[in-house]
């Protein structure tokens, strides 16, 4: 309480001083008063866009292809370039006929509802996955996406910011890097992958310290049924909080405190019109959707985590507000949600809005970088501001003096 009061007083005092009189020491003091704001201000729209653009060089990054494997390698190289530590990979196998499915409530749909995802309302329009290559008008992109998927070995990469005082406790920040539909998967989910990568870059800076650990994970095989996230849970859940080697103070899998998933960040143009068309511009009332799943075993903690992001949005997001809802579904946080507070951050509600056709680029050839404008990209940046602000607070982030 007293630190917050001091921060407010400091801001008021600095605002009253002529700009020419504000010294470097004053700016340093302001950053120390609220280090989270200083971290959020390191986010940059052009960098965020450039990271999305970098991901699109691999086309739709469909799992089980050379372009997917090249994208995983590229993501790892970028993380290394950012100075990220403890970079590792999850390795698993995927076969389309496997019987296992993500844990939690059913995610099947019928004409009127998504189970756990809310009831459809208003105008709906067609959704689906494009499988026709000839609907992609760009011949170079069509050729890039032409290699079909094959079953077998899969990999996904993550890195970890180690907590200085509680290295045995961790928040997971995730997004899936694979896509399909014969586009560039720029929004689904280049926008979420770039967000997580940008947060990893900022939190890995040498002057940033956190009390608790943060893991930045880029899942694979989301589009086939959350298989990459489920592989992580299968392999790592039982390792939580185990010191290795004993007495070393090292925890290969710190105890999970919360999981925040990011999937489709850019497009909130509103409900389909009566004729099924979508408005061409970002709607003025666009917002960052934060969802928990009310049917999950860890729903109470997930709701608290969702409101922590909402509060951070109020404090740090520059353009778009946040909305909290109980209908998280069909996302990589689903395999976590019965084990740890898990939430999803999106452009719209996954079930009753995206599932009802609110994003016409979803799994379509039109999901390419050129489709989106700065108002769209800025919605994604605001989601990044929201998560960085919340996780920075929860993990106890500070800046070196």
pLDDT at 104: 38
pLDDT band for position 26 (50/70/90)?
low
The stretch 39-62 carries a mean pLDDT of: 98
> Hey, which residues does 214 pair with through a beta bridge?
161, 171
The stretch 246-261 carries a mean pLDDT of: 96
pLDDT at 2: 39
Q: Which of 29-33, 37-41, 64-68, 201-205 has the lowest mean pLDDT?
A: 29-33
* pLDDT at 112 > cutoff 60: no
The gap from C-alpha 30 to its chain's centroid, in whole angstroms, comes to 29
pLDDT band for position 31 (50/70/90)?
low
pLDDT at 134: 98
pLDDT at 114: 54
pTM reported for the whole predicted model: 0.90
CB count within 10 Å of CB 207 equals: 12
Q: Which of 16-25, 75-84, 265-274 has the lowest mean pLDDT?
A: 16-25
Contact 257, 171 (CB under 8 A): yes
* pLDDT at 290 > cutoff 80: yes
Looking at residue 327, what DSSP letter applies?
B
pLDDT at 27: 58
Q: What angle do helix axes 66-82 and 192-203 make, rounded to 10 degrees?
A: 20
pLDDT at 121: 80
The domain spans of the chain are 1-33, 44-399
Greater confidence (97 vs 24) lies with 97
pLDDT at 102: 40
Q: Which two tokens stand for residue 361?
A: 């680029």
* pLDDT at 124 > cutoff 70: yes
Mean pLDDT of the chain: 91
Looking at residue 186, what DSSP letter applies?
I
pLDDT at 122: 82
Q: Which of 191-200, 204-213, 350-359, 373-382 has the lowest mean pLDDT?
A: 350-359
Greater confidence (1 vs 385) lies with 385
Query: H or E segment at 302?
Result: helix 299-316
**What does the pLDDT look like over 154-185, one tens digit per residue?**
999 999 999 999 999 999 999 999 999 999 99
* pLDDT at 401 > cutoff 90: no
The stretch 347-365 carries a mean pLDDT of: 95
Closest to 62 measured CA to CA, from 71, 54, 53: 71
pLDDT band for position 18 (50/70/90)?
low
Architecture per CATH, domain 44-399, reads as: 3-Layer(aba) Sandwich (3.40)
Q: Which of 110-119, 121-130, 190-199 has the lowest mean pLDDT?
A: 110-119
**What does the pLDDT look like over 80-102, one tens digit per residue?**
999 998 999 999 999 997 544 44
Do strands 398-399 and 88-94 pair parallel, antiparallel, or not at all (unpaired)? Answer: unpaired
Omega of the bond leading into 245 within 30 degrees of 0 (cis) = yes
Looking at residue 149, what DSSP letter applies?
P
pLDDT at 107: 38
CB count within 10 Å of CB 28 equals: 13
Instruction: Say how many residues make up the chain.
Output: 401
Provide the percentage of residues in the chain whose pLDDT is more than 70: 88
* pLDDT at 316 > cutoff 90: yes
């Amino acid at each position: 309480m007293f630190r917050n009061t001091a921060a407010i007083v400091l801001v008021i005092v600095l605002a009253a001083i002529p700009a020419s009189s504000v010294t470097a020491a004053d700016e340093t003091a302001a950053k120390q008063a609220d280090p989270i704001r200083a971290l959020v201000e390191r986010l940059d729209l052009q960098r965020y866009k450039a990271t999305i653009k970098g991901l699109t060089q691999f086309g739709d990054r469909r799992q089980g292809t050379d372009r997917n494997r090249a994208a995983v390698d590229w993501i790892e190289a970028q993380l290394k370039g950012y100075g990220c530590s403890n970079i590792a990979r999850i390795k698993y196998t995927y076969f389309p006929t496997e019987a296992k499915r993500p844990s939690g409530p059913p995610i099947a749909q019928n004409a009127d509802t998504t189970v756990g995802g809310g009831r459809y309302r208003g105008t709906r329009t067609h959704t689906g996955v494009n499988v026709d290559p000839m609907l992609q008008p760009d011949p170079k992109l069509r050729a890039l996406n032409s290699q079909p998927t094959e079953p077998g070995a899969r990999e996904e990469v993550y890195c970890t910011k180690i907590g200085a005082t509680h290295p045995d406790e961790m928040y997971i920040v995730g997004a899936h890097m694979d896509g399909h539909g014969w586009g560039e998967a720029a929004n689904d989910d280049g926008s979420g992958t770039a967000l997580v990568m940008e947060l990893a870059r900022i939190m890995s800076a040498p002057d940033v310290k956190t009390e608790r650990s943060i893991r930045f994970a880029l899942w694979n095989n989301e589009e086939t049924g959350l298989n990459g996230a489920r592989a992580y849970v299968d392999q790592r859940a039982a390792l939580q909080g185990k010191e290795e080697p004993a007495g070393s103070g090292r925890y290969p899998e710190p105890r999970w405190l919360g999981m925040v998933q990011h999937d489709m960040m850019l497009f909130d143009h509103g409900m389909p019109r009566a004729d099924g068309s979508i408005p061409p511009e970002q709607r003025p009332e666009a917002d960052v959707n934060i969802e928990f799943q009310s049917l999950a075993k860890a729903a109470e903690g997930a709701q608290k985590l969702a409101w922590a992001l909402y509060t951070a949005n109020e404090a740090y997001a520059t353009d778009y507000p946040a909305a909290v809802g109980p209908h998280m579904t069909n996302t990589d946080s689903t395999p976590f949600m019965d084990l740890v507070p898990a939430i999803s951050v999106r452009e719209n509600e996954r079930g009753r809005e995206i599932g009802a056709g609110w994003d016409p680029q979803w799994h379509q050839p039109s999901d390419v970088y050129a489709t989106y404008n700065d108002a769209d990209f800025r919605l994604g940046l605001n989601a990044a501001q929201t998560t960085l602000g919340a996780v920075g607070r929860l993990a106890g982030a500070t800046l070196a003096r």
